[in-house]
Amino acid sequence: MEPTDTAEPDYFHKVVDCQWACPAHTDVPEYIRLIAQGEFTDAYMVNRASNVFPGILGRVCDRPCEPACRRGRIEDKPVAICRLKRVAADHRDDISALLPRAPEQKNGKRVACIGAGPASLTVANDLLPLGYEVTIFEQFAVAGGLMRTNIPAFRLPANVLNEEIGYIVSMGADLRLNSPIRSMKQLLDAKEFDAVFVGSGAPKGKELELPGRRDSDRIHIGIAWLESVAFDHIDKIGERVLIIGVGNTAMDCCRTSMRLGAKDVKVMARKPRKFFKASAWELEDAEHETVQIVVNRAPKSFVTKDGKLAGMMFEALEYDISGGEITATRVLGDEFYPCDDVILAIGQENAFPWIERDIGINLDRWNVPVVDKTTFQSTRPEVFFGGDAAFGPKNIIWSVEHGHQAAISIHKFCQGESVAARMPRGLTLSSRKMGMHEWSYKNEYNAAERRLVPHVGLVERFKKVNVEVELGFTAEQAALEVQRCLNCDMQTVFTAKLCIECDACIDVCPTDCLTITHGGEEADLRTRLRAPARVTAQPLVVSGALPQTGRVMVKDENLCVHCGLCAERCPTAAWDMQKSTIHWPHAGDGETACRPKQRQSA
Amino acid sequence: MTFMAKPKVAHPELPRNALGLTRRDYEGSNSTLCAGCGHDSITASIVEACWANALQPQNLVKLSGIGCSSKTTAYFVSGAHGFNSVHGRMPSVATGANAANRKLHYIGVSGDGDTLSIGLGQFIHAIRRNLNMVYIIENNGVYGLTKGQFSASADVGTKAKKGEVNSQPPIDPVQLALTLGASFVGRGFSGDKRQLVPLIQAGLRHPGFALIDVLSPCVTFNDHEGSTKSYAYTREHYHAAVEADYVPRAEAIAVDYPAGESLLVPLHDGSQVRLRKLEPAFDTRNRANAYAYIDAKLHEGEYVTGLIHAQDAPEHELHAVNRTAATPLNRMPYERLNPGAATLAKLMARYR
Ligand SMILES: Cc1cc2nc3c(=O)[nH]c(=O)nc-3n(C[C@H](O)[C@H](O)[C@H](O)COP(=O)(O)OP(=O)(O)OC[C@H]3O[C@@H](n4cnc5c(N)ncnc54)[C@H](O)[C@@H]3O)c2cc1C
Ligand SMILES: Cc1ncc(C[n+]2csc(CCOP(=O)(O)OP(=O)(O)O)c2C)c(N)n1
Ligand code: SF4
Ligand code: SF4
Ligand code: SF4
Ligand SMILES: [Mg+2]
């Protein structure tokens, strides 16, 4: 193996597993440390710089960071990254002075955003401080997109949405509610805007055309039904409800049903549990609320009796599974499940009935727009897409990152620069050495187990449809949970020419990450390390030849707990602990935008 | 040293020995030695060897004198028995313990000062009595603990940190042990665990006194330019005469070595330590040959390392010579340990 090029900016970024896995590259270890120091406001602002909605995401983020968290490889459970985000949001002070502001003097460019979901709001958040005039068109009377209309209030209260959307709107966005765009052609022909961002989401719930589908009005489409609940158009449901599908929408539908009078709610799944799309924690919450999950049942028909929905017929299935894949399916027979209502929650699609097909915006044969994966530009140069509208339904944090990237593109486009030329990513390292054995971070490993977020009791939570179920960590819980973070951004940086091969670092490393051995190819090296290094997704760092013997220092990044003991034991400071700060570009970086200092403390 | 102890968190897939323990289970308390001290690597090698031999921690006794080296018994196998004695007096304590209980494994850790200066007399007698123990000298050429004075193993011409040159000839513990008829004599280097660990494993299985002299740089007082015990100097001048491998049980039956070229030391779990000659002119079983060989190399400025001399079945072992009881004294009934007043009176009568 050639010596590893750790100067490549992504190298150390990947070591910070959570930050690398976060679509918006939130600086997780930094905000967790700030919480540990009681700097909640700064922790909030570090979050906001990349994910824009810390209070919202601290409750409902899909949290791709958590399965990536190194702690989850050392022991069972990752750090409760998401719930710590909420801690920052819950305990922050007034942040108005720290928010970016729009300059008095505008730059003369106008941008339209269609839809007031997280994608559009992020575009506005990034462009307003640069002097753009941003107009947001929203068909409904409230902003927030699916966060408002579909994510139930018992998971995401309205005041949290209002507050964080308010920060952006009050920067000076021209938010036009009750203003559906019915013709893209008209909008573009009017030439009122220099660029248009389409953040209209994936608003169409998928249909299930089975016999009997049209025979009853008690068969609902999940996302439309949740929207009606959010707008108070629906406030009750029958006692027995069947939910078809087992994704996150199904979880919200079943839990909402429990709050509207249902007593017996069954989520009907076609496949076994390990193939479910819903997040483990959503399933857990639903089952805790006595929702039943029925597996291996494929819907066959809707059954009505005397003009009234009586139930549904299913085929009971049996599967052969090998190597995690279904290899064969057998039908065992029909089974009838009685019910009063059915909610279909089997997916969403994009729909653009308002985009004319002859205006240069190409849609593919599935009616999905042709959008560049990096620039988010459509085939019509001044039109950009992002969020669920771009590549189909994802989640809030992806919508935010799309918004950031689209904002970069729109800014470049409006300034006459190449949209394709992206801004470089960067990384800076700075030593944390304070004294012989002192580091300016808490390097001690804390063996605490993951804390559990307290929940409102089962009786209390069903009293109203909008009682928030999760209470957030207590101060004591948060204080312990932050100590579980391994500080993966405190990088181990090696200088080969200083090493005297005394083995001190190797002996002291608790997780046996380090080995001095003769060089070789990666596959061979992996067999010669002090401890098994089977996780090939995690890199080996290989040094140049060591001065005394010409051997090499090899580090397996996989299980390093960033305790700094290697650097503490090293007599020559060949190992050093250096904090990496990752620069993930945002629109207008390096320009004198109207951004106040985004932190309170030094 | 480090300010915090090595945390208990470990690699989840560490290999386990016959007792189901990982090498982490053989660690001791946090080392307080200077960061980079050779002694810490020897500690790690002892941990590895005890783990590989699947030693029951409570069947091990750790003994030492005074010095940085002697402090290290606290840093391995915290489940073992231990005695940190006075300067140079570890052999007497070891002899007493050994006489009282021959069922345990004994590891003595000492320094070149502790062994070759103040403790030389005791050391010689431990060899003479052929005490069943592993005796490790962590040899750095200085009194580390008292800030780097030359010890009795400092080479002629070596320079102290402040520039002073040593003119006294050294005592080489390996040559000394050979002349005294020690039955197992090895030399290692703290920077070469591949060689050192099997040597300790074999020493632990040797039924008699096993001396292992380990070159162990003092990173603080003896690792400078001009020192003959620095990391860099040792790496240039150490000369492996024998290569040692640990052969796991599964492979042990399958390996077949040409006679005379390798020595297999059986371990009780069915595995073996294989010691392979790298020098054709060298014969580990022949004491005179071994002595002549290392003496010649020493004159060329080379330290021969590896297993230098081993007798398969040494005779005069302490317990055999003294016809001691096989049962540890603490398991003997009180009546046998103390024959009583009547017997004493009879005995005394003989002197009247
Ligand atoms: C039931 C459900 C639960 C979910 N739970 C989670 C969760 O827990 N965590 C998570 O991260 N994600 C969740 N999601 C997904 C997440 O809500 C979406 O991925 C995200 O909101 C998409 O953001 P967006 O900005 O692309 O679009 P949207 O949020 O869909 O916003 C689009 C907006 O555009 C408006 N609009 C559409 N067409 C027009 C038009 N022609 N003119 C004007 N306005 C228009 C819409 O009214 C809407 O307000 C969930 C989704 C559903 C359906
Ligand atoms: C009876 C007695 N004399 C002198 C000392 C002072 N003393 C402490 S350690 C030491 C030398 C230790 O040298 P060595 O055994 O080589 O150990 P190192 O520290 O080098 O590992 C001396 C002379 C003492 N502790 N006790
Ligand atoms: S910081 Fe150093 S000692 Fe600690 S786990 Fe990582 S490599 Fe090992
Ligand atoms: S502790 Fe430092 S000098 Fe010693 S082997 Fe490790 S990196 Fe090299
Ligand atoms: S003084 Fe020398 S021998 Fe003692 S701990 Fe420090 S480096 Fe090791
Ligand atoms: Mg010494």
What are the tens digits of pLDDT across the range A366-408?
888 999 999 999 999 999 999 999 999 999 999 999 999 999 9
pLDDT greater than 50 at residue A228 = yes
Query: What are the pLDDT digits (tens) for B50-90?
Result: 999 999 999 999 999 999 999 999 999 999 999 999 999 99
Give the residue carrying structure tokens 């970024």.
Answer: A13
pLDDT in tens, B60-70: 999 999 999 99
| Ligand 4: residue whose CA is nearest its atom 6 | A505
Measured over the CA atoms of residue B296, residue B298, residue B303 and residue B305, the dihedral's sign is: positive
Given pLDDT bands bounded at 50, 70 and 90, which one contains residue B271? low
- Find all residues with CB under 8 Å of A409, minimum gap 6, and list them: A375, A376, A377, A384, A419
Q: Do A188 and A181 form a contact (C-beta atoms < 8 A)? A: no
Looking at per-residue pLDDT, the higher value among A366 and A553 belongs to: A553
| Top mutation candidate among A437, A494, A495, A502 for ligand 4, by most atoms within 8 Å of CB | A502
B350: in domain: no
Closest CA to A140 of A228, A216, A214, A217: A228
Whether residue B146 is predicted with pLDDT greater than 80 in this model: the reply is: yes
The binding-site residues of ligand 5, defined as CB within 6 angstroms of any ligand atom, are: B 33-34, 37, 39, 68, 140, 144-145, 218-221
Instruction: Give me the residue from A508, A511, A571 closest to B10, CB to CB.
Output: A511
State the pLDDT at residue B259: 43
Inter-chain touch B7–A447, beta carbons under 8 Å = yes
Other Cβ atoms within 10 Å of A460 Cβ, number? 11
For the CA of A575, the nearest atom of ligand 3: 2
Residue B276 in domain: yes
Q: Which atom of ligand 2 is nearest to the CA of B145?
A: 19
Nearest to B179 by CA among B90, B323, B292, B270: B292
Backbone angles phi, psi at B28, to 5 degrees: -120, -150
Q: What is the pLDDT of residues A438-447, one digit of tens each?
A: 888 888 899 9
Q: Is B138 helix (H, G, I), strand (E, B) or coil?
A: strand
**pLDDT value of position A291:** 96
Q: How far apart are CA A567 and CA B36, in angstroms?
A: 11
Tell me the per-residue pLDDT of A110-149, one tens digit each, with 9 for 90 and over.
Answer: 999 999 999 999 999 999 999 999 999 999 999 999 999 9
Cβ of A561 and B7 within 8 Å? yes
Distance A566 CA to ligand 3 centre (A): 5
Evaluate whether A145 touches A118 at the Cβ level (below 8 Å).
yes
**Nearest residue on chain A to B45, judged by CA atoms?**
A507
Query: What are the backbone dihedrals phi and psi of residue A210, each rounded to the nearest 5 degrees, phi first?
Result: -120, 165
**Nearest ligand to the CA atom of A155:** 1
Q: Which two tokens stand for residue A540?
A: 């080996």
Instruction: Name the residue type at position A401.
Output: E
**Closest-approach residue (CA) in chain B for A546:** B232
Specify the pLDDT at position A284: 93
As a whole number, the mean pLDDT across chain B is: 90
End-to-end distance of chain A based on CA atoms, in angstroms?
Answer: 42
* B223 contacts in chain A (CB < 8 Å): 500
- Which spans in B133-256 are helix H? 173-179, 193-205, 231-237, 249-252
pLDDT on residue A426: 87
Average pLDDT over residues B288-315: 86
Q: Does ligand 4 lie within 6 Å of residue A502's CB atom? A: yes
Three-state DSSP state, A276: coil
Cα A422 from Cα A375, distance rounded (Å) = 8
Domains of chain A: residue spans and CATH:
99-203+350-414 (3.50.50.60), 205-347 (3.50.50.60)
Mean pLDDT of A48-59: 98
| Euclidean distance between CA atoms A48 and A190, whole angstroms | 35
Chain B residues in contact with A502 by the CB 8 A cut-off are 36-38, 41, 190-191, 217, 219, 231
Question: Model confidence over A265-286: pLDDT tens digits?
Answer: 999 999 999 899 888 889 999 9
Please check the confidence at residue A62 and state whether its pLDDT lies above 90. Answer: yes
Residue B302 in any domain: the answer is: yes
What is the DSSP code (8-state) at residue A369? B
Phi, psi of B101 (to 5 degrees): -150, 105
pLDDT at B252: 45
CA count, 13 A, side-chain hemisphere, A242:
25
Helix (H) or strand (E) run with residue B334 in it: helix B334-337
Q: Which candidate, A583, A588, A584, places its Cα nearest to that of A409?
A: A588
In a domain, B62, yes or no: yes
What is the pLDDT at residue B260? 47
Instruction: Output the six-digit token pair for A546.
Output: 């060591």
Please give the Cα distance from A389 to A18 (Å, whole number). Answer: 26
Q: Dig out the tokens for A360 from the structure.
A: 């240069």
Q: pLDDT-based confidence at B274, cuts 50/70/90?
A: low
> Rounded to whole angstroms, how far apart are CA atoms A260 and A228?
12
Given a cut of 50, is residue A173 above it in pLDDT?
yes
Q: Can you give the pLDDT at residue A181?
A: 98
Question: Which pLDDT score, from 0 to 100, does residue B253 have?
Answer: 44
Question: Which residues make up the environment of ion ligand 6, defined by Cβ < 5 Å?
Answer: B 111-113, 140, 144
pLDDT tens sequence across A563-576: 999 999 999 999 99
| Res B334 pLDDT > 70 | yes
Do A504 and B35 make contact, defined as CB atoms within 8 angstroms?
yes
pLDDT for the residue numbered B136: 98
Whether the full predicted model's pTM is greater than 0.80, yes or no, is yes
Distance, in Å, from the CA atom of A588 to the CA atom of A525, rounded to the nearest integer, reads 44
Cβ–Cβ < 8 Å for A409, A415: no
pLDDT in tens, A306-315: 989 999 999 9
Q: Which ligand is nearest to the CA of A548?
A: 4
B186 close to ligand 2 (CB < 6 Angstrom): no
Q: Which residues share a beta bridge with A583?
A: A426
Question: What angle do helix axes A28-36 and A475-482 make, rounded to 10 degrees?
Answer: 130
Q: What pLDDT is stored for residue B209 in this prediction?
A: 95
- B82 or A599, which is more confident: B82
Tell which atom from ligand 1 comes closest to the C-alpha of A118. 25
Q: Given pLDDT bands bounded at 50, 70 and 90, which one contains residue B108? A: very high
Q: Are A222 and A323 in contact (CB under 8 A)?
A: no
pLDDT at B43 over 50: yes
- Residue B84 CA to residue A148 CA, distance in Å, equals 71
Range of the domain at B85: 23-321
Q: Which residues contact B55 (CB under 8 A, 6 or more apart)?
A: B26, B77, B105, B204
pLDDT tens, residue by residue, B214-231: 999 999 999 999 999 999
CA–CA distance, A538 with B302 (Å, rounded to integer): 43
B337 belongs to a structural domain: no
Mean local confidence (pLDDT), B27-38: 96
Would B352 be classed as within a structural domain?
no
Distance, first Cα to last Cα, chain B: 62
The HSE-up count of residue A256 (CA atoms within 13 Å, CB side) is 29
Q: Is residue B299 part of a domain?
A: yes
Adjacent-strand bridge partners of A348 = A205
Place of tokens 């001190």: A504
C-alpha to C-alpha distance for A257 and A579, rounded to whole angstroms: 48
Residue A437 confidence class, pLDDT cut points 50, 70, 90: confident
Tell me the torsion sign for CA atoms A552, A558, A559, A563.
Answer: positive
Chain centroid to Cα B274, Å, comes to 18
Counting the structural domains of chain B, the total is 1
Least confident of A59-68, A97-106, B79-88, B237-246: B237-246
What local confidence, expressed as pLDDT, does residue A599 receive? Answer: 73
Percent of chain A residues topping a pLDDT of 70: 99
Element (H, E) at B98: helix B90-100
- Percent of chain A with pLDDT strictly greater than 90: 88
This complex has an ipTM of 0.89
Q: Where are the beta strands (DSSP E) in A345-483?
A: 348-349, 383-385, 426-431, 433-435, 438-439
What distance in Å separates the CA atoms of residue A57 and residue A475, rounded to the nearest whole number?
A: 19
B68: domain CATH number is 3.40.50.970
Q: What is the pLDDT of residue B285?
A: 81
- Nearest C-alpha to atom 2 of ligand 3 is from which residue? A566
Q: Which residue has the tokens 């060949």?
A: A574
Among the listed residues B314, B309, B303, B264, the one whose alpha carbon sits nearest the alpha carbon of residue B286: B309
In this prediction, residue B266 has a pLDDT band, given cuts at 50, 70 and 90, of low
Q: How far is the CA of A502 from the centre of ligand 4 (A)?
A: 5
Give residue A26's pLDDT band: very low, low, confident or very high (50, 70, 90). Answer: very high
Q: Is residue A595 helix, strand or coil?
A: coil
Q: Does any domain span residue B54? A: yes
Distance CA A418, CA A420 (A): 5
- Residues 6 or more apart whose Cβ sits within 8 Å of residue A406: A119, A123, A197, A375, A376, A384, A385, A386
- Ligand 1 close to Cβ of residue A396 (< 6 A): yes
